Amino acid sequence: MNPLSAVEARVLGSLVEKDITTPDYYPMTLKALTNACNQSSNRNPVVSLSERDVELGLDSLREKKLAFMFQGAESRVPKYGHRFPETFGLARPEAAVLCVLMLRGPQTAGEIRGRTGRMHEFASLEEAAATLDALAARAPEPLVARLPRQAGFKEQRYAHLLSGDAPAPAAGEEPAPGRAAAAPEGDRLARLEAEAAALRAEVAELRQLLADLKGQLG
């Protein structure tokens, strides 16, 4: 399969996330999906895609058998869904891990465990790491790569390979010495921050759904 573009990865990740976390509002309208792609929480980097950008990404994903369009008798507008687990033969934990990597960029196993909670609750850090390692050892092609350890960090990060080769470390990205000792505490804080961000995102999503409902009734 051809590598995903950055837009395709953001669209696909957003579809996977909303399918699991808000199934009552899935499949998604183009407007709702665009809002999901452009969220300011649980996204890195934060983007500002137009509906046309998202639509083009969906067209390409549909060609790759990763997305579909649905328009039933009760739906006034087309809605979109994904075929990510079916196409790649993924279990829920694997789909959750890849979803976070598509939406948040490279992550440590601790960050993955903290940020997949709404999609899949890993019982331990070891379980999250085992899932990542299984995706990295997947045949015939791995879906995840372990990145070189950054100076000052104890934990290695992982990146998805759905968009091709793993990203190279950015210039000046290395943190100052002394961060390594704080890694366990950092994992705990990352989990708390992820849970807080997830709650903020859920509130924002509910507000948007309420606004959309008021618009339809008005």
Amino acid at 6: A
Evaluate if residue 165 carries a pLDDT over 50. Answer: yes
Domains plus CATH for the chain?
6-86 (1.10.10.10)
**CB proximity list for 51: less than 8 A, separation 6 or greater:** 30, 31, 34
26-40, 58-72, 156-170: lowest mean pLDDT where? 156-170
Amino acid at 197: A
Confidence of residue 1 (pLDDT cuts 50, 70, 90): confident
Evaluate if residue 64 carries a pLDDT over 50. Answer: yes
- pTM as predicted: 0.77
DSSP string, 44-82: SS-----HHHHHHHHHHHHHTTSEEEE--TT-SS-EEEE
pLDDT of res. 195: 57
> In angstroms, rounded to a whole number, what is the distance separating the alpha carbons of residues 117 and 215?
32
Confidence of residue 130 (pLDDT cuts 50, 70, 90): very high
Which three-class secondary structure string do you get for 83-108?
Answer: CHHHHHCCCHHHHHHHHHHHHHCCEE
Evaluate if residue 72 carries a pLDDT over 80. Answer: no
Q: Residues 86-110: pLDDT tens digits?
A: 999 999 999 999 999 999 999 999 9
> In angstroms, rounded to a whole number, what is the distance separating the alpha carbons of residues 159 and 107?
7
Mean pLDDT of 136-158: 91
3-7, 39-43, 213-217: lowest mean pLDDT where? 213-217
Torsion over CA: 4, 191, 34, 19 (sign) = positive
**73-77, 120-124, 185-189: which has the highest mean pLDDT?**
120-124
pLDDT of res. 154: 84
